[in-house]
Amino acid sequence: MGCGPFDPQGDGERFVSHGEHDETRVVAGGRRREWTGPIVNPPVYRASTILFDDCAALKAGAGRNADGEFHYGRRGTPTQWALAEALTELEPGAEGTMLFPSGVAAIAGALLSVLKSGDDLLMVDSVYEPTRAFCRQVLAPMGITTRFYDPLVGAGIADLIQPNTVAIFLESPGSLTFEVQDVPAITAIAKARGIVTLLDNTWATPLFFRAIGAGVDLTILSCTKYIVGHSDAMLGSVTATPERYRPLRRTAQLFGQHVSPDDAFLGSRGLRTLAVRLKAHQEGALAIARWLDGRSEVARVLHPALSSCPGHDVWARDFEGASGLFGFVLAGGDAGARAALIDGLRHFGIGYSWGGHESLALPVDPAAIRSATHWEAEGPLVRLHIGLEHPDDLIVDLEEGLARYRAAR
């Protein structure tokens, strides 16, 4: 069905094809000529009603439900389709991407596209806490059991599989504690048993970890973080293999999931600079992690690129890079001493989320949200997101913070 100036049945002309470098793909992805016309970025197309030429066109469209076709606002416009397509292109082997209004909505949608009553889910113990809450408060009452496993289990996952285990959920590195999982070992076992794997890949993004290539079936991003990249919109995505894409899409549509074109636009706009931003986040975070590693006030730095991080060898084998989020354990002291450090920082904001251009510091306490493993540490834990400021300015700021911590300890 042809609608307005667009022809969704057009020949799909694009600026680049598959096989380019990531830097090129993030710049060009989703910018189909038939969606953008002569405009560089897909414009914000706001729509609820889509008008059809005549009754025959309306009737023909009703049964179709294809990607990238005008139907009704809930199914999106070129603004959302362009972002979804650009994200799909970053995961070779993927069939498609569904957008969600937040990362948590993406996690929920992905899980519900796989699980039904009576099923068993294996969930990594270092998972983002709201994912855990979803299992407990939504999946459990539906009759879906969740069993938590050690993030460092690797091929040992085989021993945990039951006859009704349908899915394994991974997050690597782990939220707050940064254990790097052996994703290929787990997906190989899952594939052999017909079990679906889902990965929260928010930390690495497809640029630093190719999830579908590593055998993952559904890869999830909180696009709120590095894709949007400027701390001003909430967005999530799930990119899936050919086998899992249709069920994912059906679930998202049945739940009425929809992303506003304004937020999709911000996601596309952020994506264009993802490659250069990630490099800068990586460089700054590594400089600061190494500096912290040499400080007597710091017991341990939890940064996947440092050998002190559990799973560091797996990171070195599997990842293309490290992003800007990591943690460090203080050498003794209590929450008050930690607050003395954090409260006086000039360049680090105190708040949830991360992935924006600005640095953040967060006090985190993982012990209470573990069930399969124990978190024990020499002192309180701080999570840092290193933004795009000059690392030297951040180091001066942290040095003053560590002096406040010493005084308060």
Ligand X SMILES: *Cc1c(COP(=O)(O)O)cnc(C)c1O
Instruction: Please report, as ranges, the residues that interact with ligand X according to CB under 6 A.
Output: 102-104, 128, 171, 175, 200, 202, 222, 224, 234, 236, 353
Determine which one of 200, 217, 263, 397 is catalytic.
Answer: 200
**Alpha carbon of residue 351 to chain centroid:** 18
Q: What secondary structure does DSSP assign to 11-41, as a single string?
A: ----S--TTS-HHHHHHHTT--HHHHTT-SS
Is 74 catalytic? The answer is yes
Nearest approach in angstroms of CB 105 to ligand X is 7
Which residue lies nearest ligand X, judged by its C-beta? 103
Is 225 catalytic? The answer is yes
Q: What secondary structure does DSSP assign to 114-133, as a single string?
A: T--TT-EEEEETT--HHHHH
Nearest approach in angstroms of CB 160 to ligand X is 22
Is 128 catalytic? The answer is yes
Nearest approach in angstroms of CB 89 to ligand X is 21
Name residue 282's amino acid: Q
Strands 298-302 and 325-330, by their bridges, are: antiparallel
Determine which one of 45, 128, 149, 226 is catalytic.
Answer: 128
Is 136 catalytic? The answer is no
Choose among 363, 361, 359: nearest CA to 350.
361
The residue among 36 and 172 lying less far from ligand X, judged by its C-beta, is 172
User: Of how many residues is the chain composed?
Assistant: 409
The residue among 108 and 301 lying less far from ligand X, judged by its C-beta, is 108
Determine which one of 33, 46, 74, 250 is catalytic.
Answer: 74
Tokens (6 digits) for 126: 């270092």
Tell me whether the omega of the peptide bond preceding residue 366 falls within 30 degrees of 0, making it cis: no
Determine which one of 75, 210, 225, 338 is catalytic.
Answer: 225
Nearest approach in angstroms of CB 264 to ligand X is 14
The residue among 6 and 128 lying less far from ligand X, judged by its C-beta, is 128
Q: What secondary structure does DSSP assign to 69-95, as a single string?
A: --S-GGG--HHHHHHHHHHHHTSTT--
The residue among 165 and 202 lying less far from ligand X, judged by its C-beta, is 202
C-beta separation of 278 from 323 below 8 A: yes
Which residues are catalytically annotated? 74, 128, 200, 225
